[in-house]
A and B are shown apart, each in its own frame.
Chain A
Amino acid sequence: MDTTFLLNGESVTLTGVEPTVTLLDWLRDVRGLTGTKEGCNEGDCGACTVMVTDARGARALNACILFLPQLHGKAVRTVEGMSSPDGTLHPVQEAMIEHHGSQCGFCTPGFVVSMATAHVNRDQNHDDALAGNLCRCTGYAPIVRAAQAAFEHDVPAWIKDDVATLKTPALSLSGPVHVPQSADELADLYARRPEATLIAGATDVGLWVTKQLRQLDEVIFLNQCQDMAQIEQTPDGLRIGAGVTMDRVLKAVQGKYTSYAEMIRRYGSAQVRAAATIGGNIANGSPIGDNPPPLIALGATLHLRYRETRREMPLEAFFIEYGKQDRHPGEFVEAVTIPDQPDRMQVYKLSKRFDQDISAVCGAFNIAVEDGAVSQARIAFGGMAGVPKRAEAVEAALLGHPWTDDALVRAWDAWEQDFAPLSDMRASAEYRIFAARNMLSRYLLNDLGAQTSVLEVQA
């Protein structure tokens, strides 16, 4: 297939590219642009960060799990393209020098690109913008000082130019690579080629290629299906297309479900959220995906589609058992709808590290209280079973009873009816169940007005 994009301001057209060549390998091995580094090859360190701009604006992405066809019609800037063609440094580069933001320098190109992306987006939440960039040398303090200092400076013209120069050229396709332009095209295609691998953000599929060294024979890229990337308010609630990336999901739920939004702030990193789709996070069926618990607790409906046939189901019904979902060959996730409701949900994502860590346990609690008693309870967990799962026994133990300390006691034994978690490198079974129980206490204490988040405490 042909892929056309802007690279550091220059138009590049690649013919006959292998669909699963990563941008990182291509930059380093083919283009000789070695400023972009490989630190992990799995999206976790940010050393390979590049800036990708399209009609939606500029985002930082990890080049190590970004396939070339995903770039079609976009503008890519690597660290080499951060300074002006005449060598004038970008303000973040100047600030990094002045504030001693580099030591060994290996993480630095990735930081510079993440910082420049935050800079063009006028984003001052430096900890969030940089959560996906690991540095082993500096302890981050000088880097954040540099980011703060650079913020005062204007966005350089050569960075702004990308948007102006962008043109989306026509796609030319051949061979086992498909880039459908709409959900209809996808429906038709996937029904005919049910063996093909769907690729949305590639934050999972990317690792199959870079770590498991899997050969993907036939692939369908979803990122051009604009109609699957819409967020709409419908009479049934908030409908989020499968192709909506997590950074947009965050914005969509920010005013509505505050705690869900706060959880997404900690989901992966800026780079991961800009790539990962909500559809991919559901479709992969992972027992530790972070969206299913809050979506189940909110009573979300999943929309599946096969050709013109559409099915709907409560999200929890989709997850049958570990590695098995209720999805037929050729059927795909089209959207998910969250019914409108008052914001009573709290989501607790428990991991070793706050930012960019996979949850050991993710618990979502949506409990309504009327006249001091629990009138409705939807509680769902990730990391506690082979699938994202509702805590039905706990819900039953709470329902109709007074919303006091007694509720915790009443639910005590129900936890073990609902869950028998495993031990792994993230947490022991004992910790998981104990921490899950404590999440209910936290929810109650929260309701009673106690301060319960270490993230809100200052020295």
Chain B
Amino acid sequence: MSVAKPLPHDAARLHVTGSARYVDDIPTPAGCLHLAFGLAEIASGTIARIDLDQTRSAPGVVGVWCAKDLPTDCDCSPSAHDEPLLSDDSIHYLGQPVFLVAATSHLAARKAVALASITYEERKPILSIDEALEAGSHFEEGPRIWQKGDAEQAIQSAPHRLDGEIEIGGQEHFYLEGQAALAVPQEGGDMLVHSSTQHPTEIQHKVAHALDIPMHAVRVETRRMGGGFGGKESQGNALAIACAVVALQTGKPAKMRYDRDDDFMVTGKRHDFRIHYSAGFDAKGRLQGLAFTQYARCGWAQDLSLPVADRAMLHATNAYFVPNVRIESHRLKTNTQSATAFRGFGGPQGMLGMERVMDHVAHHLDLDPTAVRQANYFGSDQNAVPAAVQTTPYGQPVEEFALGEMTKALIESSDFKARQDAVRAWNETQPVLKKGLALTPVMFGISFTLTHLNQAGALVHVYQDGSIHLNHGGTEMGQGLFQKVAQVAASRFGVGLETIKITATDTAKVPNTSATAASSGSDLNGMAVLAACDTIRNRMADHLAQLWQVPSDKIAFGDTSVTDGNRTISFAEAAKLCYEGRISLSSTGFYRTPKLEWDRLRGQGRPFFYFAYGVSASEVVVDTLSGEYRILRADILHDCGASLNPALDIGQIEGGFVQGAGWLTTEELVWDDKGRLRTHAPSTYKIPACSDRPDVFNVALWDGANQEDTIYRSKAVGEPPFMHGISVLMALSDAVASCGRGYPDLNAPATPERVLAAVRRVQNEL
């Protein structure tokens, strides 16, 4: 059976030879136009005068559009209908698209944009969390509050208490392939759109809306993305709509890809957060009451900010049982890029707030942070109540909690205790360099919190030669979804992977799909494909059983053949027999996740089908003269259930860890006081480079099947490993703490500058 095998990515050979095609690589039909946006130069205000004459007459320019030239408002929002494609004269952030140029080349379009002259009436922008709070600028009517027990009372009556705050910076996705779309007009006003998107159905929906045509007139195809990470869940809408509008109005194909700097300036990023906490705890650090106030900077439009902020609340206590909790969440509206989905979808920010509490409590009591974490785990002995009946703050029972065992296993395998001693001893001898070591857990809820999104469809054909065409609603962005799902299909039919043709996601094949997001890709699409395959397989079995005069359950598929125990024919022969027997060899498949029930306003119910777990330990060394540091070693133990493909899963874990570490270390987004993003290219925005990965990097999979009935009992893996990066920040905190008596209070991203400031703080509190 091909599931559980560590097979390479299905497109690996295409990748390494440069023949894997991305949107910008698709050969374009003759006369293709290339588009570029002209962007607002201020963060807030209105357009006083706009002069595009020079732009219009620039070499190669074919057309220029402002909002008034569009067929509709061409709204780009995935949620609140608050994102017109082009500014309606009001400016909400620096980088907002104001006009659109179509030219004969990408370069000609960019050069023409630069010739525009716009004057503005400026307003003072609302940029920071404080400014937004002061101005009362937020989404939804007021803060969302979820409670369990009486947090305030519990904090007051606890033997120990502390307050603190952490600032958590945002993060640019930096998918290596920038946003891109290509629209090719079809007969009768129909539109074909190639889009680098995680959500083809959303592109179809928004393009249909913009052109004021039914969804059936728009077909969206996505073969692959050069990385998505959430940044292509809604942020591709503008490009696809722009291309479709131009294609419709000119009758020519239209392509748009953002120059990297434009991509930074226009598109949303991870939400930055401030989290304030009050904790009441006993002498062992066990929490009795906990109150969080989370402030999320959402940017100018709503986009996906409400569910993102919800998920930050859902993960606000991470893997810990807290009897009394209060979580208050503010969704602030600011004149900056509209923050959007990014791997973890608010979960990482919420979880980091909790890990900060653990670290702070341990420091306060002078206890080992790992011991404090373990003492607070669900189901830890001290809590007396068995884990199974312990619930999260939102009332979901934690029926299986693997972290107790996993943590012990990682402590063992990483030689954690001995290394902790070694680090302490080493630090004693070092005047300049200090090491730090920390262990943090991840408990991540799997399912879309908007319950109706937890559905998926598939379309499978078996051809008369026995070859199989596979299609489903999931998109491929590097995570290996297509290969995992193909492994499922191959296993159902008992054939090799060479028999399966993986095909581009296509809204004409599978309709009404959800975004490939929330780590749900293989859970949902794997099950839908399984259903489709089994439908066909059962039809084949019934037919062969009839031919061979045996009961259907005697027919078995495997080793690329079909047998009833006596007779064995190849799968291809079986397909041919079925075809000749007039059996339908094509089927759709459908899946919806069971057991979900969620009331987001009250913050009560079962939003998640199950939890994915993981634990990591990171060791760092810090330079106390400059604040520079390195990650020396990371050990990760992660739970993928019964892995569909251990190689791909390990790839997600390694990549997720490094991306998570980047978020909390070198990846700093800096806006100036005018609201201009100053870090808008890889020259100024620093994602981890090759040498930033840990020298020693041990990743292992936890051996255990999913208790819930998921696809081959596997678990989702896309987002959870990202949060292993938190152990790096906590290790930095540990290293800094060794410089003196104060608490490091390290904010994120912990750039060398912030680390040095923390070192000085800690040293000064001698």
Partner-B contacts on A (CB < 8 A): 25, 28-29, 32-42, 44-45, 47, 78-80, 82-83, 89, 92-93, 96-98, 100-109, 112, 126-128, 130-131, 133-144, 211, 213, 348, 350-358, 424-428, 431, 434-435, 438-439, 441-442, 445, 450-455, 457-459
Contact between A139 and B17, CB atoms less than 8 A apart: no
Say yes or no: A108-B259 contact (C-beta < 8 A), given A127-B690, A445-B432, A452-B623: no
Chain A residues with Cβ below 8 Å from B227 are: 103-104, 106, 136-137
| B8 engages A137 (CB within 8 Å) | no
* A133:B690 contact, CB within 8 angstroms: yes
Contact, CB under 8 Å: A100 / B658: no
Chain A residues with Cβ under 8 A from B14's Cβ?
105
Q: Smallest CB-CB separation from B699: which chain A residue?
A: A141
Asked whether B692 lies within 8 Å of A105 as measured between CB atoms, the reply is: no
B385 at the interface (CB under 8 A from A): no
Interface residues of B in 679-693 (CB under 8 A from A): 679, 681-684, 686-693
Of A92, A348, A434, A453, which is within 8 A of B756 by CB? Answer: A434
A80 to B24, CA, bound (A): 17
Report chain B residues within 8 Å CB of A100: 8-9, 12, 647-648, 650-651
Contacts A136-B229, A143-B690 given; indicate if A352 touches B752 (C-beta within 8 A): yes
Count B interface residues, CB 8 Å: 95
Residues of A within 8 A of B622 (CB): 454
Flag if B756 contacts A103 (CB, 8 Å).
Answer: no
B651, B681, B694: the one contacting A103 at CB < 8 Å is B651
Hey, which chain B residues are within 8 Å of A213, CB to CB? Answer: 107, 110-111, 114
Contact B174–A136 (Cβ < 8 Å): yes
CB contacts (< 8 Å) of A127 on chain B: these are 690-691
Give chain B interface residues in 164-198, CB to chain A under 8 Å. Answer: 173-178
Q: Is the CB of B655 within 8 A of A34?
A: no
**Which residues of B, 1-58, contact A by the 8 Å Cβ criterion?**
8-9, 11-22, 24-25, 27
Q: Which 3 A-B pairs have the closest CB atoms?
A: A35-B18, A106-B226, A104-B478
Nearest residue in A to B476 (C-beta to C-beta)? A104
How far is A130 from B670 in the complex, measured between Cα atoms in Å?
27
Cross-chain contact B684 with A425 (CB below 8 angstroms): yes
* Structural contact, B633 and A104, CB atoms closer than 8 A: no
Contact A139 B689 (CB under 8 A): no
Q: Chain B residues near A431 (CB, 8 Å)?
A: 627, 753, 756-757
Q: Are B666 and A352 in contact (CB under 8 A)?
A: yes
| Residue B269 at the chain A interface, CB threshold 8 Å | no
**Contact A47 to B176, CB < 8 A, known contacts A34-B25, A143-B690, A459-B619:** yes
Residue pair A29, B684 in contact (C-beta under 8 Å): no
Given A37-B176, A425-B679, is A139 in contact with B659 using a C-beta cutoff of 8 Å? Answer: yes
State the Cβ distance, B754 to closest chain A Cβ, in Å. 9
For A106, give its contact among B22, B114, B691 (CB under 8 Å).
B22
Can you give 8 contacting A-B residue pairs, CB < 8 Å?
A39-B178, A92-B16, A101-B16, A104-B176, A104-B478, A138-B655, A140-B658, A442-B625
Closest CB of chain B to A451's CB: distance in Å?
6
Cβ B224 vs Cβ A105 within 8 A: yes
A424 touches B678 (CB 8 A): yes
Complex Cα–Cα for A36 and B8 (A): 22
Asked if B632 and A457 make an inter-chain contact with CB atoms under 8 angstroms apart, the answer reads yes
Chain A residues closer than 8 Å to B625, beta-carbon distance:
435, 438-439, 441-442, 452
A93 and B17 contacting across the interface, CB-CB below 8 Å: yes
Is B16's CB under 8 angstroms from A97's CB? yes
Given A105-B14, A452-B625, is A357 in contact with B261 using a C-beta cutoff of 8 Å? no
CA gap between A11 and B699 in the complex, in Å: 47
19 more contacts with CB within 8 A, not counting A42-B682, A136-B659, are A34-B25, A35-B18, A40-B682, A79-B16, A89-B17, A96-B16, A100-B8, A106-B176, A106-B177, A130-B690, A142-B651, A213-B111, A355-B691, A358-B684, A426-B684, A451-B433, A454-B623, A457-B621, A459-B694
Please measure, in the bound complex, the distance between the C-alpha atom of A450 and the C-alpha atom of B434, giving whole angstroms.
Answer: 13
| Residues of chain A with a CB closer than 8 A to B162's CB | none
Return the chain B residue nearest A111 by Cβ.
Answer: B16
Contact string against A for B residues 728-763, beta-carbon threshold 8 Å, 1 for contact and 0 otherwise: 000000000000000000000001110011000000
Cβ distance B6 to chain A, nearest Cβ, rounded Å? 8
Give A45's nearest chain B residue, CB to CB: B682
B460-481 near A? 1/0 per residue, CB < 8 Å: 0000000000000000011110
Q: A29-B105, A42-B682, A79-B17 are in contact. Are A459 and B433 (CB under 8 A)?
A: no
B682 contacts across to A, CB distance below 8 A: 39-40, 42, 44-45, 134
**Chain B residue nearest in CB terms to A426:** B684
Bound CA span A453–B623, Å: 7
Question: A32, A97, A353, A445: which contacts B431 (Cβ < 8 A)?
Answer: A445
Does the CB pair A104–B225 fall under 8 Å?
A: yes
Q: Which of B8, B111, B628, B689 interacts with A454 by CB under 8 Å?
A: B628
* Cβ-defined partner of B689 (8 Å) among A141, A355, A452, A457: A355
In this assembly, does B568 line the interface, its C-beta being within 8 Å of a C-beta of chain A? no
Contact A425 B670, beta carbon cutoff 8 Å: yes
Residue in A78, A137, A458 whose CB lies within 8 Å of B18: A78
Q: Which of B650, B678, B681, B693 contacts A140 (CB 8 A)?
A: B693
Q: Do the beta carbons of A82 and B17 come within 8 Å of each other?
A: yes
A130–B261 alpha-carbon span in the complex (Å): 23
A142 vs B480: C-alpha distance when bound (angstroms): 15
Q: Which partner residue on chain A sits nearest B622 by CB separation?
A: A454
Q: Which of A29, A104, A143, A424 has the most CB of B within 10 A?
A: A104
The residue that A352 contacts in the complex, of B18, B21, B431, B686, with Cβ under 8 A, is B686
Q: Is the CB of B693 within 8 A of A141?
A: yes
A37–B177 CB distance below 8 A:
yes
**Contact string against A for B residues 636-654, beta-carbon threshold 8 Å, 1 for contact and 0 otherwise:** 0000000000011011001
Question: What is the chain B residue whose CB lies nearest that of A112?
Answer: B16
Complex CA distance for A454 and B16, rounded to whole angstroms: 34
Contacts of A136 in B (CB 8 A): 173-176, 227, 229, 655, 659, 687
CB-based nearest A residue for B670:
A425
In the docked arrangement, what's the CA distance between A451 and B682, Å?
32
